[in-house]
Amino acid sequence: MKKTIDPPLRLLLVAGARPNFMKIAPLINSIDKANREREAGRRIDYRLIHTGQHYDVNMSRVFFRELRLPRPHANLGVGSGSHAVQTAGIMCAFEPVCLREKPDWVVVVGDVNSTLACTIVASKLRFKVAHIEAGLRSFDRSMPEEINRVVTDRLADLLLTPSSDANANLLREGVPRSKIRLVGNIMIDSLVNHAPLAARSRLPRRLGLKRKEFVYVTLHRPANVDDEQTLRSIAGELSRLATRCPVVFPIHPRTRKMLQRYRIDLKSGQGVFLLDPIGYLDSLWLTQNASFILTDSGGLQEESTYFRTPCLTLRPNTERPITIKLGTNKLTSPASLGADIEAILRGHRPDGKIPRYWDGRTADRILELLRGG
Ligand code: UD1
């Protein structure tokens, strides 16, 4: 009898901005492993599409190198612009890719403009969309990412959530239970895979840092860096903090632009290390070994919870409440920052637990679902 060969499962993987790369890498590892170990079942063919939302070497290429991501099959080269310009640019460039590749699934991650743009295109062409990191909600529509999350989840066919609060949010919005799967936090897969390499980071020696005796700072949200008074007041707190403890502050391009525009005089030296954006491994080392973290990043709230490093999140809300409930995260504001820093320096440090399924095996669980669906 003639043996029939199943056609491969075709996946189109979308990554565009810095926080996407560490969420796509584990999935590619799992696909490669599944293909290598395949005895029965379908081969998996994937195409990695880089939208080009982030394009500087230290916002993109360094992550490809450190995460050993393959060269993208296509780079849409969209670059920066207003939200409408960037989102529309990605949509126009992604549509022909979708039509050409005819994937079984378009896989999007996180909440950036690339996530939203590719989801809209794929849904209208009736390709199935799987959203990794679905269901997170800050309930704050002044954040562009919240709009990206809500629309992406409304359209996606498979909603892969990192924590049970995300399931509850989706159910409350009327998403059928059959579309939702709690798979865990895929970014923690990358962290677990790369922590041993991060231990070899040369950054601590270069800066003369001692474990648990420095603060790791990242800031890039428009709400913190676009308004002059807010940015000035945060910079003042950082200068004060630096008189007591070294502050390591890799600066996002948006933040650098704003510091220059407002002529805010936060200089390297005097306890502050102002750096260009750093790679993934250096960031992991800083997260694991900092005395505490001050950030407005989504990813760092989770990575610090995993490493049990105290984290002050400079935002009025978070879409990742589990990092506060279970982990080591606390919200702060420009007004309360001084007091919150003081409390941590005096030893008020939460214990923190690691949430369920933040175990380094999320990508395997996701692949299992994509193969079954
Ligand atoms: C984007 C995401 C945000 C994520 C962040 C991580 C959206 C809506 N926002 O914000 O969720 O936390 O990435 O970095 O998708 N720029 C460069 N080089 C680059 C990229 C950007 O110089 O490689 C500059 C440009 O001046 C650009 C500005 O940074 O205008 C902002 O970039 P953009 O992609 O619009 O948003 P992010 O602030 O990076």
pLDDT-based confidence at 265, cuts 50/70/90?
confident
Do both 234 and 125 map to the same domain? no
Pocket test for ligand 1, best of 18, 55, 56, 80 (most atoms within 8 A of CB): 80
Do both 117 and 246 map to the same domain? no
* Structural domain contains residue 52: yes
E strands, 138-289, in order:
158-161, 180-182, 215-218, 247-250, 272-275
Do both 232 and 200 map to the same domain? yes
Do both 67 and 128 map to the same domain? yes
pLDDT the model gives residue 2: 59
Do both 218 and 165 map to the same domain? no
Express each pLDDT in 187-228 by its tens digit: 999 999 999 999 999 999 999 999 999 999 999 999 999 999
Long-range contacts at 74-80 (CB < 8 A, ≥ 24 apart): 74/47, 74/49, 74/50, 75/49, 75/50, 75/51, 76/49, 76/50, 76/51, 76/52, 77/52, 78/16, 78/51, 78/52, 78/53, 79/52, 79/53, 79/55, 80/53
- Region of 17 (left: φ > 0; alpha: ψ -120 to 50; beta: rest) is beta
Catalytic residue among 50, 54, 131, 220: 220
Ligand 1 in reach of 112 Cβ (< 6 A): yes
* Structural domain contains residue 331: yes
* Structural domain contains residue 69: yes
Residue 305's domain spans which residues? 195-345
Question: Could you tell me which of 197, 51, 200, 191 has the C-alpha nearest to residue 114?
Answer: 51
Do both 43 and 65 map to the same domain? yes
Express each pLDDT in 129-146 by its tens digit: 999 999 999 999 999 999
* Structural domain contains residue 247: yes
| Ligand 1 atom with minimal separation from the 110 CA | 11
Average pLDDT over residues 329-345: 95
Do both 200 and 155 map to the same domain? no
d(CA 237, CA 231): 10
* Structural domain contains residue 131: yes
Using alpha carbons, list the distances in angstroms from residue 53 to 48, 56, 89: 14, 10, 10
Do both 143 and 244 map to the same domain? no
The pTM of the full predicted model, rounded to 2 decimals, is 0.96
Is the pLDDT confidence value at 269 over 80?
no
In this structure, are residues 67 and 22 in contact, taking their beta carbons and an 8 Å threshold? yes
Average pLDDT over residues 111-122: 98
Do both 149 and 294 map to the same domain? no
CATH number at residue 217: 3.40.50.2000
Ligand 1 in reach of 80 Cβ (< 6 A): yes
Residue nearest to atom 21 of ligand 1 (CA): 54
Do both 174 and 292 map to the same domain? no
* Structural domain contains residue 43: yes
Do both 149 and 40 map to the same domain? yes
* Structural domain contains residue 239: yes
* Structural domain contains residue 2: no
Do both 269 and 125 map to the same domain? no
Query: What amino acid occupies position 201?
Result: S
Q: How many domains does the chain have?
A: 2
